[in-house]
Chains A and B, each alone.
Chain A
Amino acid sequence: EDQVTQSPEALRLQEGESSSLNCSYTVSGLRGLFWYRQDPGKGPEFLFTLYSAGEEKEKERLKATLTKKESFLHITAPKPEDSATYLCAVMNRDDKIIFGKGTRLHILP
């Protein structure tokens, strides 16, 4: 069964304290791995798509990387406005998108 597991469930960092969020997956025929950001009371907002192992994508203080079994979302020198839930998802060979439960990130000023 296709599965996405994110860790940690929650993470509190001081402003400027860099860290990484993990997304491990098992999927039948990976067609893409996605990162979304979700703010409280809002729908998820698309951040990145990664297609193959070794690929990296960057956006401001965020960088996503992909291996054959997991993806990392690296957050460099985060600011309080980076506080959100970060969701990882994969698309399988049937074009079905499966989401993980997310990591709740809280950046303290």
Chain B
Amino acid sequence: DSGVTQTPKHLITATGQRVTLRCSPRSGDLSVYWYQQSLDQGLQFLIQYYNGEERAKGNILERFSAQQFPDLHSELNLSSLELGDSALYFCASSVALSSNVLTFGAGSRLTVL
């Protein structure tokens, strides 16, 4: 157990729907990162939050949004889902804003039918 908790582990939904993925960082970590992993693209950085504020954005689609709450947990919202959004979504956390060691959760596997 890495200490980073992601729910749900698996999610199956239909095109056009909206889902929310949740992440609780490791105790003491202030920074949360979201990554998308697909077979052909590898691990793609989506967005980073630090202590409640957005700090960096990667290749995140406009249909996707995220936030970090005062208790430091984070949610990734995916809307108007398309088949191509099917992937593993990982949350990672770190202590500092620009830490070089990320602790990853076990991921949420999203299947869009």
Contacts and interface: CB of A to CB of B under 8 A. Distances in A.
Contact of A43 (B45, B58, B97, B106): B106
A9 B100 CA distance: 24
A41 B106 contact: yes
Nearest to B35: A99
Nearest to A98: B45
Interface of A: 31-32, 34, 41-46, 49, 87, 89, 91, 94-102
25 contacts: A31-B100, A34-B100, A41-B107, A42-B106, A43-B4, A43-B90, A43-B92, A43-B106, A43-B107, A44-B43, A44-B90, A45-B2, A45-B104, A87-B42, A87-B43, A95-B97, A96-B56, A96-B58, A97-B45, A98-B45, A99-B42, A99-B43, A99-B44, A99-B45, A101-B43
Interface of B: 2, 4, 33, 35, 41-45, 56, 58, 90, 92, 97-98, 100-107
